[in-house]
Structures are given as structure tokens and as C-alpha cells.
Amino acid sequence: MPNADTRPTDATSALASELIERLFEGRSVRRVLLVAPPDVEAGAFNFAVCKRGRYTNYEPYGLGVLAGRLRAGGIAVDIVNLANAVLKAGRLADDEADFHYDSIWQDALDEALDHFRPDLVGVSCMFSQTHPIMAAVCRHVAARHPDLPIAAGGVHVTNALANAATRTALLDDLAPVSLFFRHECDEAFPDFIAVVNGEREAADGLAQLLLRVGDSEVDLTRRRPPGTESLNVLPAHDLMRPDDLSRWGKVGAYFYLRSPDTRFATVLSNRGCRAQCTFCSVRNFNGMGVRRRSAASVVDELEYLRDEFGVGHVMWLDDDFLYNRAATLALFEEMVRRNVGLTWDCTNGVIATSCDEEVVAAAAAAGCIGMSLGMESGNPEILRSIRKPSTVEKFLSAAEALHRHPTIYSRVFLIIGFPDETFAQIADTISIARQMDLDWYQIQLLQPLPNTPMFDSLAAKGLVKADDFVGVQYAGGTFGRNATRSAGGKDVLARDFEGIFGRHSADAVPDAEDLQDIWAYMVVHLNYLRLENKTDPIKLEQYLKNLEYVSDIVAPGDAIALHYRQVLSDRLGRPRDERLTGRLDQLMKTQPFWKDTFASLGLTLTERQ
């Protein structure tokens, strides 16, 4: 379906008004329940990973923003975070036999429906991977309350409505849903409720809405991007409870740098991204360009989180946090001037072009302790093909700036497996990463996401299925391909990866098995072996905290992480940890493949072991 920004015709407006009347039957909307589904369906959830506290547990920030807008218009709102309900139950359960995934989220949803008694339910999700459980949530609401209108929105809905194949699949799977909102709905959703409530006479101002009732359907494609007033609205953090979320899951990628009792929250200072990366759908959702909130409104939110919820650390949700150099510096200056006193990180990644010395220094002064760079590739040809807005030279320059501020722990996003990417091009990425010598490299296998140029290109060649929501997997993170790599069997880092580049022609394109070997090679060489020569006490502390997280939470069976945890502990003069020594000894005895891996890497167990 086209997505033109056109005002509806009189006939379209008349049909929209008719369908609204049929759907609501003269009832007004005074109470709205907003629902954040669990991240995945039960079959993709790992109880052991949950118990270790590895799963992420973010505030449903977009719903919080929408709740703030609705409240400003006099609408009562509640938010039920089903992802948090599942994680909390999992962390509190004595064992897996006491944990019933679907019953947990269903009971939490039923309680919210019965207690709040909404006139309208809104369900949202960001990723296609959440589609099956989102559909299950909508079916559950409809089964319990057949006459209750349901609205769906978010990034996934926007992307799925963008082409015919995914549009049909979405509408079929979300059969109980009557209202589908595209893009940011800060304006469009409150406007719709105003029409339902008779506060606006005509439906010709409605936007970004596909409305269906029975066999009738109207698609209002005109966009209403939020204006400055909407951007500066304080999200309803009181409905999202940031003081509770980090008890049951992690927030961002740098939480291990703070004490375990630190409360974490998320904040969005701008929307959109200047880049046009072919694997990313940010522009499809937010539109072109970047729109910033005022520095005052952002710092007001930071102070509110600190004072009302005891938050000590914030993760920025921005896709292009450092966009507009002058505005960025002004924000940092305001944070310092008002003595906000929070630490913060950019888990989502920043564009290297913006990381000059002045910006990085100002970030450190304003509380930055973690910054991720979106590099993806170190090969100029690949960077051009994916339309990355940085160059190898900019990556190296950003690394130099970060090296001058060691209190910032720096991570780099790398992707392997781009279409037709060769061994030689991946080797270029490894070479540039080594030259940058930053603190941790997050390596992922490419996972094309729907409604991106790369996905569309691969779908046209028959290499991915355009309408297969279930088949879209997370490339990395807690639900990624290697999230449970040490749960049993031979760890992927114990693969025979050392000769992977010598076994193939430089111009050859790696297959799926080759990419697994390359992934393991890069993890070991870029993240572990480079620690041999590190001596800066500030960095050693950071590296050790990261390895404690990796070896305790991410991959308890990773003998290489345990080994370097001991090496760094020795280097810092820490007392001997007998439990750590025992864990490594046990791995070596029960999983003898680790001895071969250590030998191939030239690793020697310390005397303590």
C-alpha cells in the first residue's frame, strides 16, 4: 500500500467516521490501557538465562511518551509491562517447574483489564521477533473482552504495513485488532480519541491510521509527525516504574560498571537519524532528519528520574544521540550546570563522525561512562554499499578521542555476513578494529530486518521470506543466535577457528559455517587476546567488571573469559578467588576440548590454577 502524506477525501473521511461509529457505538474513550507485550513467545524464552539476570528489561518508553500526551488531554491511562511481569516471576521462582510463562503474562494482563476497565487497549512492539507474542496478547484481550476495541502500533506495525506481503500477514495474524497506527503517534493517537469523543467534528484530520471494522477498511496514510510541544512532554515514568525494572533484568550494555543497587532508566533526547544505512528502518518510522527536544526539557526529565525514583544511571535511547554538535554540547553543559549527577551511556551507538575531542571530553564531564560506536565494517567498499555515514578515517579519529578519556568504556558494533562480503573484506574490518584498540567489540551476524533496503533486495532474490515474521531472528543480544552458547555441549569459542582465513581464498564469500568460525575468531582475537598487554588501572578495572559479567551471566561455560578474569585480577593484585579457580579447573576436566583451544591460542594457565 502507498504511504503518501495526503489528506483524506470527503468520501474517505465519511467512511472513517462511519467505521468509528460502528466500532465504538457512541461510547467515548476516557480510559486507555497501553500494553507492552513480552519480548518473545514462550518457546524462545530461556528460564536459566532469566535466572542469571541476563535478559534486558527496558521501560516501554514510547508508551510512556504516549501516556504523557493522553494525560495532558484529560485521558486516564495505565501501562502494563508484560515483559517485566515475566522477568520478575522468573527471577523470583524457585525452579522452572514453578514458572509458567504464558500464565504469568495472561494473569498480569487480566488483572490490569479488570482493575483499570479501559475503553480502549493499545498494544505496541518494536521488533518483528515480538510479532507472535503480540498477536497472542491481542487474541487474549479479545477473548476476554470481545467488545473492547484494540489498537496496535509501533515500529513493527509500521514496517509490516509498508508492503503487500507483510501487510497481509500482519492483518491476518492480528485479526482482533481494528486500529493500526503507523509511525510516531504523539499527535495521531490523541487526535483519533478526540474524534471518537466528539471533541473534533470531522475525521478528515485523522492520520497514520488503518481502520477496519468487519469487511470494511479505510487507510489514512497522511502523516502527523510530532511537533516541538509533543517532543518536550514528560513521559509517564510513574507508570513504567524505572525504580523496579533493573531489579529483574538489565538496562543497557554498561550496567556492570555501576554498583548492583544502582537504579537505571532510559531517556530519549531526539528522534530520527541522519544516516541512511541499508540495514536499518529508523527513517521509515521517524522520517528523514533528526528532531531534538529542548535541553531544558531533557534535563528536567533527568532530574525527575533522579529525585522521584532514585535513578543513578541513564541509557540514551537515541539513534543519533550526538546529532547537531552545538546542541549536543549545549545539552552536556546544561547537565553540568544543573549538577545532575547521573552517569549515562549510549548503548544504541553513536555515529563516529561526531566523536571529536571536544564532544567526547564534554560527554565525559557530563557523566558518560559508556559509549558504543556504530562501525559495522572496516572495508570502504562495504561501508559505501550499506551507506554508512562514516569512513575508516573517522573510525580511527573517534578512537583517538576516546583513548584520551579512559573513564569512558567504549564498545564497537561490527556486523559480518553482508551480501557478497568476502573474507578479505572481513579481514579489513578486523584490521581496523585492531588499530582502533577500543574496549569491546560486539560482533553480530547480519540479520536483515523487514522494510529495509537490504531486506527488500534479498527478498527480491528469494534469499529471505518477505512475510515470515517468525523466521526473523535477533542477530545478537539476549535472544540472539549465540545467547545460550555455553548452555551445553561444545562452546562455539572452542571451534577450530584459528585457520579460518588461511583455509579460504581472500575473494571467496563465507558460508554460514564459515561465519560462525569468523565470529568466534573475532570474539577471541578482538576482545580477549588483546588483554595480554593492557596495564592502565582504569581500563583493567573496566575490563574485569565486563569479564565478571560475561563469565557469570552471559556464558558461565566460557573458559577463555574465566582465564582472562583471573589474569586481570592478578594484574590488579586482587586476593585469590578459590571459587573462580575451581570453576575453571572443573571446565578443563569435564570439557577437555578447552585444553586444545588454549593450546591453539598459546594460552597458559596461571600458577593459581
At residue 201, does pLDDT exceed 90? Answer: no
Indicate if 265 and 361 belong to the same structural domain. Answer: yes
Indicate if 441 and 588 belong to the same structural domain. Answer: no
Query: Could you tell me the strand order of the sheet in which 209-213 lies?
Result: 76-81, 31-36, 120-124, 150-153, 179-181, 209-213, 216-220
Look up residue 602 and give its three cell numbers.
598459546
Q: Which tens digit of pLDDT belongs to each residue from 514-553? A: 999 999 999 999 999 999 999 999 999 999 999 999 999 9
Strands 368-376 and 343-350: parallel
Q: What distance in Å separates the CA atoms of residue 366 and residue 359, rounded to the nearest whole number?
A: 10
Indicate if 93 and 200 belong to the same structural domain. Answer: yes
Predicted local confidence at residue 606, as pLDDT: 60
Indicate if 404 and 332 belong to the same structural domain. Answer: yes
Q: Which tens digit of pLDDT belongs to each residue from 179-192? A: 999 999 999 999 99
How far is Cα of residue 568 from the mean position of the Cα atoms in its chain? Answer: 30
Cα Rg of the chain, angstroms: 25
Strands 76-81 and 31-36: parallel
Q: Which of 148-157, 209-218, 227-236, 351-360 has the lowest mean pLDDT?
A: 227-236
Strands 311-316 and 263-267: parallel
At residue 393, does pLDDT exceed 80? Answer: yes
Indicate if 161 and 271 belong to the same structural domain. Answer: no
Q: How confident is the model at residue 487 (pLDDT cuts 50, 70, 90)?
A: very low
Q: How confident is the model at residue 473 (pLDDT cuts 50, 70, 90)?
A: low
Indicate if 156 and 43 belong to the same structural domain. Answer: yes
Indicate if 125 and 200 belong to the same structural domain. Answer: yes
Q: What distance in Å separates the CA atoms of residue 483 and residue 47, rounded to the nearest whole number?
A: 13
Look up residue 50 and give its three cell numbers.
532469566
Predicted local confidence at residue 470, as pLDDT: 56
Q: What distance in Å separates the CA atoms of residue 193 and residue 199, rounded to the nearest whole number?
A: 9
Q: How confident is the model at residue 608 (pLDDT cuts 50, 70, 90)?
A: very low
Predicted local confidence at residue 460, as pLDDT: 82
Indicate if 115 and 14 belong to the same structural domain. Answer: yes
Predicted local confidence at residue 453, as pLDDT: 87
540 CB burial (10 A radius; 0-12, 13-18, 19+): middle
54 within a domain of the structure (yes/no): yes
2 within a domain of the structure (yes/no): no
Q: Which tens digit of pLDDT belongs to each residue from 420-443? A: 999 999 999 999 999 999 999 999
At residue 475, does pLDDT exceed 50? Answer: no
What does the pLDDT average to over 342-350?
A: 96
The SS3 call for residue 201 is coil
- CATH label of the domain that carries residue 418: 3.80.30.20
What does the pLDDT average to over 257-263?
A: 96
Q: Which tens digit of pLDDT belongs to each residue from 37-91? A: 999 999 999 999 999 999 999 999 999 999 999 999 999 999 999 999 999 999 9
Percent of the chain residues past pLDDT 70, beyond the cut: 94
Indicate if 202 and 62 belong to the same structural domain. Answer: yes
Q: Is 567:543 a contact under the CB 8 Å cutoff?
A: no
Predicted local confidence at residue 457, as pLDDT: 86
Q: How confident is the model at residue 471 (pLDDT cuts 50, 70, 90)?
A: low
316 within a domain of the structure (yes/no): yes
Indicate if 203 and 289 belong to the same structural domain. Answer: no
The SS3 call for residue 249 is coil
Distances (CA, A) of 298 to 253, 303, 316, 567, 589: 22, 9, 11, 42, 53
What does the pLDDT average to over 357-380?
A: 98
* CA end-to-end span of the chain: 63
Q: What distance in Å separates the CA atoms of residue 265 and residue 61, rounded to the nearest whole number?
A: 10
CB burial readout 564-591, b (16+ within 10 A) else e: bbbbbbeeeeeeeeeebbebbeebbeeb
Indicate if 200 and 60 belong to the same structural domain. Answer: yes
Predicted local confidence at residue 97, as pLDDT: 95
CB atoms within 10 A of CB 460: 10
Q: How confident is the model at residue 3 (pLDDT cuts 50, 70, 90)?
A: very low
Predicted local confidence at residue 285, as pLDDT: 86
Q: Which tens digit of pLDDT belongs to each residue from 556-588? A: 999 999 999 999 999 999 998 899 999 999 999
Q: What distance in Å separates the CA atoms of residue 233 and residue 307, rounded to the nearest whole number?
A: 18
Predicted local confidence at residue 410, as pLDDT: 98
Indicate if 189 and 315 belong to the same structural domain. Answer: no
At residue 609, does pLDDT exceed 90? Answer: no
Q: How confident is the model at residue 483 (pLDDT cuts 50, 70, 90)?
A: very low
- CATH label of the domain that carries residue 141: 3.40.50.280
212 within a domain of the structure (yes/no): yes
Last-in-domain residue among 446, 475, 499? 446
Predicted local confidence at residue 564, as pLDDT: 96
Q: What distance in Å separates the CA atoms of residue 557 and residue 560, rounded to the nearest whole number?
A: 9
216 within a domain of the structure (yes/no): yes
Split into its structural domains, the chain has a count of 3
31 within a domain of the structure (yes/no): yes
Last-in-domain residue among 171, 204, 220? 220
Q: How confident is the model at residue 455 (pLDDT cuts 50, 70, 90)?
A: confident
- Domain extent, residue 414, equals 251-446
What does the pLDDT average to over 129-134?
A: 94
541 within a domain of the structure (yes/no): no
Q: How confident is the model at residue 490 (pLDDT cuts 50, 70, 90)?
A: confident
Q: Which tens digit of pLDDT belongs to each residue from 301-314? A: 999 999 999 999 99
The H-or-E segment that residue 598 falls in is helix 593-601
Last-in-domain residue among 429, 446, 463? 446
Q: Is 350:270 a contact under the CB 8 Å cutoff?
A: no
318 CB burial (10 A radius; 0-12, 13-18, 19+): buried
Q: What distance in Å separates the CA atoms of residue 124 and residue 33, rounded to the nearest whole number?
A: 11
- Look over the chain and give the mean of its residue pLDDT values, rounded to a whole number: 92
327 within a domain of the structure (yes/no): yes
CB burial readout 481-502, b (16+ within 10 A) else e: bbbbbbeeeebbbbbebbebbe
At residue 607, does pLDDT exceed 70? Answer: no
- Decide: pTM greater than 0.95: no
